[in-house]
Structure 1
Amino acid sequence: MTGEGFGLPEPILIVGGYGYRNVGDEAILAGLLHRLAGRGLTVVSRSPAETSAMHGVRSIPVWSAVSELRHHRSVVIGGGGLFGRHMGLLGRLLPAYGLLARVPSRAVALMGVGIDAEQSALGGTMLRMLARRAARIEVRDATSRDVLRSWHVESVVRPDLSSLMPAAPPSVGRHLLAMAGVDGSRPVIGLCLTAIDERMGDAVADAVVGCVNRMPDVEFLFVPMSQHPYVPRHNDLEFARSLRGRAPRIRVLEGVHHPAAVLSLFGALSGAVCMRYHALLFADRAGVPIVPLAYADKCRAWLAEHDETSIEPTADALTSAIRALLPAVRMAG
């Protein structure tokens, strides 16, 4: 589905968590640009040069987001857990920005968003005001729809915007495996982990190290889904390197890659241990068996909708789950 704009007047300013080197957010942007193809678009980004290079779209820095409003007739707040508890300052400011954008008569649409039930008092009030004034709201899960309904606001549930992004060819994923030094002739388990929740991150780290040491016949590749430039706990690459220090057999995918290339990589995996939301989506889309370790409500909601539950972050549970995915492989224990 391309070129769909819902009658939003052009030019359209797109706002979201873009330019922070988060694979999921960049996949959302790729899907949104695919959907709005042919429209006059500008994207607000932390790193406009990176965003323009990756997506081929005009991009402006965050600091000019307010002044650019006078040059745009519509604003799309696009995709992801922008209104979740883990979003920090960005999540707190977006509702206020959306309300500002509505003045005097600019159209504001919320597209592909996830909304947590738990909001700060001020943030929740502003988000409810914005939702009631939005020209259109699309959410990516039933839980978000139900939150909005509790505020007497209707919305449309549609798949995550990343689902509109075409995958790169399989050869791209195989190339990334080779770049990371992975032996593709052996089973390859992707590790899509995060230490955002410090306590859970510590438990997951111990579980992964124990599991890797028990499975010498399996390749493990850490796929960082976020490389936040400012917040270490949101930089999965740092977590990956700390794990590799404890378990040197873990390979790490270095560098910043287009989300379509990362999606292609998922297709080359034998299975994936997924904490990150878009790791779940990518693995599901690629038809790769999932070992879920949910750290956030959005992950638990997705798992519930797919009749799956998160495993416990222990070496025993993780080892058993991976062995169940690879019944034909002889493993030392």
Structure 2
Amino acid sequence: MRVALSVVVGLMAGMLTGSLALAGPDDGGGGPPLIPGSRQVHIRNSSGGIGVYTSIPSGSTFRSHGGGAAAECEGVAEGDDPATLDIVEDQRPVRSTKWIFIEGIAVVIDLPIDLEAFDPTGPSLDEVTRTFSVYCVDTFYSANFKGFIEVAATDPMLDPRGQITDLYNGLQLDPLVVYENKVVGEWGGLVVRSPAWLAVNGSAWRTQRSNVQYYRGWELYLITVPTSLDFVVEFVPDPERPTDPFSGTIPCVDSEDDLPRDAGLEFPYRPAGLADFAEPGSGQPCEWTPPGPGEVTITARQTFAVTFWASGAVEPQPDYVWESEPTTFRVGELVAVNVND
């Protein structure tokens, strides 16, 4: 009889010890047991799924909420309280360091389908917040719900601006190609004192975007809007027939110019009334007249206004300059030949 009693007592002691170990230490005064745990952040992605993160950077609201990383919250847990084993309970009061933050349903803001009509307006990231429900220990019982918090879009846990470099690295703009004046095909190069029209392929003068990138619930793009076009012209005269060299930038188009564009033609269009001959240099935008025989290298340079787009929030970025490959043309003189007998 003594052996049987000792076995029963031993089993009860083991059960009690196991329950206490699961519950964690109490506060020494018979209060709710402490259930340790790490903070969790549940972030909704663009397809509606949830990603769970336990590594929370310093300075984040998710780390400081409630009093700091080691702060406790109060809730309930499943099972009987070891302090009240004579009472059958569905749930019992507990304390915990396991804070749970769960993002609600995200509002989807799509990028405009017609990029040409893109207007870079909207809230800045500094004005945007995201809503999270807060729980203690778990999310099963209503007693574990601790309310809602609004978390800034620039919170270290959510801030998407660290992805801008990757967006730039993946930005593939249409290549710029310097327009070849008709005389190049006819005479083998540009002609002295005959104005050359400076233009590029029409497909390049348009609003363009980077590939999309997804990051912690954000849909991210760089959107580039062309604002100006100019040409760097470097003329080296023929040393055997020397004239003045030329080195300079010829302005062509700026953001206030509303010019038609055709992806299959040059931009801007060569005007029908362009003079046959003119004084050397540049007399008007998009035009340059060679002063003499030699060689000229032309580089097109297009400036874009860049907007960082994060699920409808916008932030302007520094202008981006996109250049063509330098294109070199020979410059020669047309010689009148008398073909009469």
Shorter-normalised TM-score: what interval? under 0.3
TM-score of the pair, normalised by structure 2: 0.23
> Higher strand proportion, which one?
2
> Higher helix proportion, which one?
1
TM-score of the pair, normalised by structure 1: 0.24
